[in-house]
């Protein structure tokens, strides 16, 4: 009937930035992935996904979609992200090129271990 029926609240931050803030501080980590020097450099450069080839080891027990920490080889955290594979499968594909995932696992959810949209530097 043309009447005003409420209040509109507009977000003060970008949607992607808000998601990254949520990833950084509101989810409990379930495991760790330890990265080689090349992966550390790529993540620090920003805007990159974590590929299995850059993973040296996988620690902890986690399911697909849970939060894991990305550590350098000294144990320092540099990022957190939602992982595309469970711990067992992540261990099996660590160090492999993305093109080798299907051969090793018999399936491929994603070519990335953690997609850049689900990864935040800490």
Q: Please tell me the predicted confidence (pLDDT) of residue 14.
A: 67
Q: Please tell me the predicted confidence (pLDDT) of residue 16.
A: 66
pLDDT above 90 for 42 = yes
Predicted TM-score (pTM) of this structure: 0.81
Q: Please tell me the predicted confidence (pLDDT) of residue 32.
A: 98
If one looks up domain 29-121 in CATH, what number appears? 2.30.130.10
User: Which pair of structure tokens corresponds to residue 17?
Assistant: 């930035």
Rounded mean pLDDT, 26-33? 88
Q: Where are the domains of the chain?
A: 29-121
């Amino acid at each position: 009937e043309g009447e005003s029926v409420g209040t509109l609240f507009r977000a003060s931050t970008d949607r992607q930035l808000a998601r990254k803030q949520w990833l950084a501080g509101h989810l409990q980590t379930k495991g760790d992935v330890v990265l080689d020097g090349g992966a550390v450099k790529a993540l620090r450069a920003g805007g990159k996904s974590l590929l299995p080839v850059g993973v040296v080891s996988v620690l902890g027990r986690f399911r697909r979609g849970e939060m894991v920490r990305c550590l350098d080889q000294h144990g320092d955290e540099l990022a957190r992200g939602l992982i595309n594979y469970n711990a067992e499968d992540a261990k099996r594909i660590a160090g492999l090129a993305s093109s080798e995932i299907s051969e090793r696992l018999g399936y491929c959810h994603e070519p990335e271990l953690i997609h850049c949209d689900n990864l935040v530097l800490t």
